[in-house]
């Protein structure tokens, strides 16, 4: 599972932020993306993600919708104010209406959980070209 030229950039670090309250998913995604050459940071919720984003630039952000406290939808405009990185949202209930809502709010796309790693790779390649 190569990152390919669409994900590589000589001027920007390959840094990605995973925001999800499911530690097992964060661990699996972190291993997968780390093996593909990404520098991975993670946050267990939106509040932690916002604090990280205040001081670090990322190439992409993976954001769960359903989290305790601030939801992904509530966090999205605040994330956009701190970062120009494309946001790929994730949800266990990803239907076409929710996908449309995510895009209207500024997300690049919405992926269904459980995540298919090939779909994740394709989404990253698409948003980074």
The rounded distance, in Å, linking the Cα atoms of 93 and 63 is 14
When pLDDT is averaged across residues 107-114 and rounded to a whole number, the result is 96
Look up residue 37 and give its DSSP letter: T
User: What are the DSSP calls for 94-107, one per residue?
Assistant: --HHHHHHHHHTT-
Place of tokens 């990280």: 52
Per-residue pLDDT reduced to its tens digit, 13-56: 799 999 999 999 999 999 999 999 999 999 999 999 999 999 99
Predicted local distance difference test score (pLDDT) of residue 12: 64
Q: Give me the residue spans of the domains in the chain.
A: 13-127
* 13-127: CATH number: 3.40.50.2300
Residue-wise pLDDT for 59-71, tens only, equals 999 999 999 999 9
- Angstrom CA distances, 22 to 53, 56, 100, 103, 112, stand at 20, 22, 24, 23, 14
State yes or no: pLDDT of 6 exceeds 70: no
């Amino acid at each position: 599972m190569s990152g390919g030229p669409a994900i590589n950039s000589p001027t920007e670090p390959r840094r990605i932020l995973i925001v999800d309250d499911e530690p097992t998913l964060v661990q699996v995604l972190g291993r997968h993306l780390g093996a593909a050459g990404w520098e991975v940071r993670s946050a267990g919720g939106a509040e932690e993600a916002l604090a990280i984003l205040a001081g670090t630039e990322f190439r992409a952000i993976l954001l769960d919708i359903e989290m305790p406290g601030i939801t992904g939808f509530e966090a999205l405009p605040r994330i956009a104010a701190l970062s120009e990185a494309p946001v790929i949202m994730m949800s266990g209930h990803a239907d076409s209406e929710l996908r449309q809502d995510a895009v209207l709010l500024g997300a690049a796309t919405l992926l269904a959980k459980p995540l298919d790693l090939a779909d994740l790779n394709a989404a990253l390649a698409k948003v980074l070209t």
